[in-house]
Chains A and B, each alone.
Chain A
Amino acid sequence: MTAYTATVTVRLKHGVLDPEADQTRKALERLGFDLDGLRSADRFDIDLDADDARSARERADEMAERLLANPTIHDYDVDVVEAE
């Protein structure tokens, strides 16, 4: 078994309104920043032991499917690295 860190990033699907990101962008603009857009995402760093990177990814995928993302509004991606 090898120690991995699976990073799951959950984003709103393209076209789904993101009022929190809109408010954050406005707040940054009030602070004087000039920006063309802002998108927010949730990131989960999951430490787990697995036989190989592929099985670590499969487990992280299942976590995203079953809890971390809501398929109606979210896309997600998974990155797996060996833990340091």
Chain B
Amino acid sequence: MAAVTVSIVRFGGSNCDRDAALALGSLDIDAEIVWHEDGLPEATDGIVIPGGFSYGDYLRAGAMAARSPIMDEVRALAEDGVPVLGVCNGAQIGSESGLTPGAFTTNRSARFQCEHVHLRVENADTPFTSAFTEGEVISLPIAHGEGRFEIEPRKLDAIRSDDRVLFRYCEADGTVTDVANPNGSTDNVAGVLGERETVAVLMPHPERATLDDIGASNGAGTDGAGVLRAFE
């Protein structure tokens, strides 16, 4: 067992918490699911905010969970350099809470989309992407209705120049096109970093493409393991 204990924050309506625990466990990363009202355990050395539909997506996806007391603890640990990863609804919570820039809102299609996507690694110099090289194309599944990344043009310029774009939706050969953009995200952005490179949110699901048996049977592959190795 690795020394790191990852706390997976469960809200009412989280539904990828057990998947995240299983995926991290398969990588020999110690992880436990934490009910948000119980607060973070003292031994927390990493945090995953999992996917789901916290608070029924009321008001806006992630809006309620982002303002729950445990997020103050998450923000404090994030500022201390503890790695934090928000996935899908966790990404919406992360952006709503101000951990990361921009917002995730209704897909361009106005539909819930569940499919495999290709992602180009834009910055390989982070814990979440150190398993990859810059420009490498990986494949992960998405499953969301509100994954369209929106950000003011001025702030987009800022995060691009600060190298805070983590992944962009792309074709299998790495070309970034509008067709490869499943939800209409600004600049095809699929994942971004917070103020530190140890804080990241992304709409695709690494925990659904980590286990060998599942990845092989549903075509998801195991690229997600590279993202979750941030917690090793």
* Contact A17-B108, Cβ < 8 Å, known A72-B103, A72-B151: yes
CB–CB B110/A73 < 8 A:
no
CB–CB A19/B109 < 8 A:
yes
Q: With A and B bound together, what is the CA distance between A73 and B106 in angstroms?
A: 11
How would residues 187 to 205 of chain B score, 1 for a CB under 8 Å from any chain A CB and 0 otherwise?
A: 0000000000000000000
B60: chain A residues within 8 A (beta carbon): 70
CB–CB B67/A67 < 8 A:
yes
Q: Is B59 interfacial (CB-CB < 8 Å)?
A: yes
B14: chain A residues within 8 A (beta carbon): none
Binding site secondary structure of chain B:
loop
Interface size on B, residues (CB 8 A): 19
* Contact A70-B108, Cβ < 8 Å, known A16-B150, A17-B148, A17-B184: no
B102: chain A residues within 8 A (beta carbon): 72
Q: With A and B bound together, what is the CA distance between A72 and B102 in angstroms?
A: 6
Q: Is B73 interfacial (CB-CB < 8 Å)?
A: no
CB–CB B108/A73 < 8 A:
no
Residue of A nearest to B149 (CB): A72
CB–CB B109/A70 < 8 A:
no
B96: chain A residues within 8 A (beta carbon): 70
CB–CB A73/B107 < 8 A:
no
Q: Is B22 interfacial (CB-CB < 8 Å)?
A: no
CB–CB B106/A19 < 8 A:
yes
Interface size on A, residues (CB 8 A): 13
How would residues 21 to 35 of chain B score, 1 for a CB under 8 Å from any chain A CB and 0 otherwise?
A: 000000000000000
> What are 24 A-B interface contacts by the 8 Å CB criterion?
A16-B105, A16-B150, A17-B106, A17-B148, A17-B184, A18-B106, A19-B107, A19-B108, A19-B109, A19-B184, A20-B106, A20-B110, A22-B110, A23-B110, A66-B67, A67-B67, A68-B59, A70-B60, A70-B63, A70-B96, A72-B95, A72-B102, A72-B151, A73-B103
Q: Is B152 interfacial (CB-CB < 8 Å)?
A: yes
Q: With A and B bound together, what is the CA distance between A8 and B65 in angstroms?
A: 21
A16: chain B residues within 8 A (beta carbon): 105, 150
How would residues 67 to 93 of chain B score, 1 for a CB under 8 Å from any chain A CB and 0 otherwise?
A: 100000000000000000000000000
